[in-house]
Amino acid sequence: MFLIVGLGNVGKEFQKTRHNVGFLVLDQLFPEANFRSQARFKAQVAEVDLSGKKVLLARPETMMNESGEAVKALVDFYKLDPAKDLLVIHDEVESDLGEVELIEGKSAKGHNGIRSIIEKLGTDEFKRLKIGIGKVLQKEQELNEYVL
C-alpha cells in the first residue's frame, strides 16, 4: 500500500487558501475519492485504485502544524515504510506559483507541517511534492496573512 497525504487546514475559512494546496491537489488528482473522517487517524481518508495498486489518500484533520500526528498514526497502523510508501503534498512559499518539485529526505525549511511530520516519524526520508504558491508580495506582509 502507498500513502499520499495532502497537507492543509480544515474549516471553510481555509478551503481555497494557498496553505491548503495539498488538499486541493488531492481533490483535483482524485475527484472520485470518497473521503471519510476517521478519528483514530485524525484524518479524512479515502482508498483509490491507481494502476491496479491500492493507494490510501489522507487529509489530516489536525491543523497544519500538527499534521505529523495523523501521518504517524496512518504509517504505524498500515505498517508503512515512509521512505518507500509515503508522499506528502504541500505548499512551498519559496517557489514561484505553480512550480512543482519532487524531493526526498530534506529539512522542513520552515514549513511547520513538514516539521511536525519529520518529528513524529523520526525521519525526513520520505517523498514530498512541493507546490509553489509564490513568494510574499510585500516585505511588511506577514507570512500567515499570505498563505491563509
Assess whether 90 carries a catalytic annotation.
no
Closest by CA to 116, choosing from 4, 7, 3, is 7
Of the residues 19, 59, 120, 130, only one is catalytic, namely 19
Alpha carbon separation from 43 to 11, 70, 113, 136, 148 (Å, rounded): 13, 6, 14, 29, 20
Residue by residue, what is the 3-state secondary structure of 18-56? HHHHHHHHHHHHCCCCCCEEEHHHCEEEEEEEECCEEEE
**Active-site annotation, residues:** 19
